[in-house]
Amino acid sequence: MIGAPAFAAQADTNYVALGDSFASGTGTRDYFEDSGDCLRSPKAYPQLLADANGATSFSFDACSGATTDDLNADQLGSLSADTTLVTVQIGGNDIGFAKVIQNCLLGNDEACEGAVAEGEAQTRDELPAKLDATYAGIRSAAPNAEIVVVGYPRITELGDCGIPGFTDAKREQINAGADVLAEVISEQAQAAGFAYADPRDSFDGHGVCGDPEWINGPSTPLQESFHPNVSGHADGYLPTVSSAVGSAAEVLG
């Protein structure tokens, strides 16, 4: 694995991974049996990060489908004053990620544009307060931890694509929405004093319709669709998150 020795030098790293399906590893097609509908994968970037760095303890609490409300209600129990590292990736479900993808796949260009515009409005108008509350809850529960907020990649690439009706116009709209989401999440992370791991450059050229794809296109079962695959986690997310963890650790001394 590339670029993962971020916290190996620390004597005790107690790591907790929070978030939604992008953090749990939905899309990798390989899940821990006891994770149930949360679809936590041994090939997800939090597990890879913990394994590569020999974390003293690791609690993998991210869950497929989670919103900020779900995280606040169900995922903070593993945090404590002894927690030294937290990664958190949340917000996509709050602004209707699945609805946007469905409208853009099944509808025309105008339907896609409308769905993306609705998601962007929610991102700008509603998500900041939800993230503020979530980040404050994490900091309160883990007062001594380094906290890294993980963002989302642009989902698609332009050009030749074998998905019927998935026009360049639709893909451009989806990626524009991803940029708005990245802007808002990064701003709220900075306001909370947290590091931000931006995966967009790492995934450049490897979205849906890319070569090779690090994000699945329409898939069976449906839950695998439009999520990072094994390569997306190992080659896209892992080095991005590792770099952010290492940079934050240097700043914190």
Compute mean pLDDT per 10 residues along the chain, 253 residues long, and list them: 45 91 98 98 98 95 98 98 98 96 96 97 98 98 98 97 95 98 98 98 97 96 97 98 78 40
Query: pTM to 2 decimals?
Result: 0.94
CATH number of the domain at 14-252, out of 3.30.365.10, 3.30.1300.10, 3.40.50.300, 3.40.50.1110? 3.40.50.1110
Active-site residue among 227, 233, 242, 243?
Answer: 227
pLDDT at 9: 45
Q: Which residue has the tokens 């602004």?
A: 95
pLDDT at 7: 52
pLDDT at 187: 98
Residue 219 known to be catalytic: no
Residue 80 known to be catalytic: no
Domain boundaries along the sequence of the chain: 14-252
pLDDT at 211: 95
